[in-house]
């Protein structure tokens, strides 16, 4: 399938639209918003993934891949995994080139490693993303909420960098040497791991007499209705859950095929929660909430 917009409008009603996902590590593009990504690609949207770090400090989370030869070549292997996932999803992708900060463990937590992404000053860290936004001219940008989705230092930094670059890219006064200004029209935060969804899937698993992988997590997860109420946009994309799963499996060092990601039958996921969920944070177009499409209100893309 060609993603260059060369198809006629009937075949690909959405060619000409451009979507950019900004993620912290390779595999985040497959674990967050991947089904809607694959759906938009199939509709002719030009989808570009930006990966802030190389995932160099990520643990090997799949026991079958926990081998010395893999660990010794982890940077290269994670790049190859990303290439496979990219092909499965049909996206283009750029690395920002920052170094993974790792997940600090211990009490108190140790200082972050010198030179890592989380410690790069914001003005400097946002620059390569501003350049890419101006070059690729996305209409819509997605990233994580201010908590990072979960509090990994790279996810929080990714949020800060994305918000800063979204604002700066359209301002001719900022980063004047990084290309012609371009203002994306909408900024979204991912809300893929929300509690109501997790609860609904958990309940459905029990109703089908199956063991839920979420029992312990839900017990510790304090309900925050006001946080969940921030979701503005639910994109129906269950037809692409299979593509999402294939993209996840491409990240073999990170995703255990026998683990939690695949503990819930796809039929249950499709029936109980057929959407991927987002929060519209900034919009320069008129769009009525709630939405079912990240491009709602964008009528004349140029």
SS3 188: strand
Look-up: residue for tokens 């791991």? 193
User: Which residue, 258, 277, 297, 278, is CA-closest to 64?
Assistant: 258
Nearest to 186 by CA among 110, 291, 256: 291
Using an 8 Å Cβ cutoff, are 276 and 267 in contact?
Answer: no
Residue 48 marked in a binding site: no
Bridge pairing between strands 92-98 and 46-53: parallel
Ligand-binding site membership of 28 (annotated): yes
Tokens of 268: 């249950």
**Helices 34-42, 241-250: inter-axial angle, 10-degree rounding:** 120
**Binding site annotation covers 7?**
no
- The two three-digit tokens of residue 122, written as one number: 């914001």
Burial class of residue 149 (count of CB atoms within 10 Å of its CB; 0-12, 13-18, 19+): buried
- Mapped onto helix, strand or coil, the DSSP state of residue 150 is coil
Query: Biggest alpha carbon distance in the chain?
Result: 60
Contact (Cβ atoms closer than 8 angstroms) between residue 90 and residue 1: yes
CB 295 within 8 Å of CB 17: yes
> Is 123 within 8 Å of 171 (Cβ atoms)?
no
Q: Output the known binding site.
A: 25, 28, 155
Q: Output the known binding site for Zn(2+).
A: 25, 28, 155
């Amino acid at each position: 399938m060609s993603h260059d917009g060369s198809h006629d409008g009937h075949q690909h009603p959405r060619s000409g639209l451009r979507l950019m996902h900004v993620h912290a590590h390779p595999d985040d593009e497959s674990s967050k918003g991947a089904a809607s990504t694959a759906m938009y690609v199939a509709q002719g949207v030009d989808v570009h993934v930006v990966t802030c770090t190389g995932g160099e400090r990520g643990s090997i989370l799949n026991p079958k891949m926990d081998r010395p030869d893999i660990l010794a070549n982890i940077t290269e292997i994670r790049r190859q995994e990303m290439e496979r996932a990219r092909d499965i999803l049909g996206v283009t992708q750029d690395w920002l080139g920052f170094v993974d900060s790792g997940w600090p463990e211990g009490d108190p937590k140790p200082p972050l490693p010198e030179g890592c992404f989380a410690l790069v000053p914001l003005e400097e860290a946002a620059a390569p993303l501003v350049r890419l936004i101006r070059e690729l001219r996305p209409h819509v940008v997605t990233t994580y909420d201010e908590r990072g989705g979960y509090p990994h230092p790279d996810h929080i930094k990714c949020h800060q960098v994305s918000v800063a670059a979204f604002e700066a890219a359209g301002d001719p006064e900022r980063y004047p040497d990084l290309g012609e200004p371009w203002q994306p029209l909408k900024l979204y935060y991912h809300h893929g791991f929300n509690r109501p969804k997790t609860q609904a899937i958990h309940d459905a698993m029990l109703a089908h007499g199956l063991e839920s992988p979420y029992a312990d997590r839900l017990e510790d997860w304090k309900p925050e209705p006001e946080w969940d109420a921030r979701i503005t946009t639910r994109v129906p994309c269950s037809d692409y859950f299979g593509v999402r799963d294939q993209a996840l499996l491409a990240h073999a060092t990170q995703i255990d095929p026998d683990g939690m990601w695949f503990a819930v039958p796809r039929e249950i996921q499709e029936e109980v929660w057929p959407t991927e969920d987002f929060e519209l944070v900034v919009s320069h177009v008129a769009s009525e909430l709630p939405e079912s499409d990240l491009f709602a209100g964008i009528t004349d893309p140029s």
